[in-house]
Amino acid sequence: MAYATATTRVTGDYGGLAKLLHWVTAALIFAMVGLGVYMTQEGLDLATKFRLYQLHKSIGVTVLAITVIRLVARQINGVPALPAHVHGWERFAAHAAHGALYALVFSMTLTGWAMVSVAAFSIPTMLYGVIPWPHIPFLAELSAEDKKTAEAVFKQTHEIFAYTLTALIV
């Protein structure tokens, strides 16, 4: 018999909306990683680079928003119980992997937002060219020297999180 917790449903599977949000999130992450690699290439004109960066940031904010919605839905609706034949270590591994994926999605998107907030060029983010998205206030107010250091750290960690997440998904 599968055990249940406060957020576990004893029967059933993930609902249609949860499945849709899962696959939309996965597709957006792959698009965002591919776009991230492409937009940083040498030889792109500035106008193209600007549009690609804005699209990359828009997708990142969308992934962040969908992930928040998914976590809220998990708390409200619960998740299906693992099959009864799944051993304790497998349960632990499944829950740990799931938690790691969520942590990486949050880490990747938040370090991207932080990186934009400390960028030397304080270019506003316009989600899909329409909706203004703020910089993180306490980061945007750092000194130029601190921003430069922070940007390098956020850039490196953002890339590490993105590649790690991609490797775990694949």
pLDDT digits (tens, 9 = 90+) for 106-157: 999 999 999 999 998 878 999 999 999 999 999 999 999 999 999 999 999 9
pLDDT digits (tens, 9 = 90+) for 36-87: 999 999 999 999 999 999 999 999 999 999 999 999 988 888 888 888 888 8
Structure tokens at 14: 């993930």
Q: What are the domain boundaries of the chain?
A: 8-169
Q: Is the pLDDT of residue 23 over 90?
A: yes
Structure tokens at 17: 């909306």
Answer yes or no: are the C-beta atoms of 31 and 60 closer than 8 Å. no
pLDDT digits (tens, 9 = 90+) for 93-114: 988 988 999 999 999 999 999 9
Q: What is the model's pLDDT at position 169?
A: 82
Measured in whole angstroms, how far is the alpha carbon of residue 28 from the centre of its chain? 9
Measured in whole angstroms, how far is the alpha carbon of residue 97 from the centre of its chain? 15
CATH for the stretch 8-169:
1.20.950
Q: What is the model's pLDDT at position 1?
A: 38
Answer yes or no: are the C-beta atoms of 169 and 29 closer than 8 Å. yes
pTM: 0.85
Q: What is the model's pLDDT at position 53?
A: 94
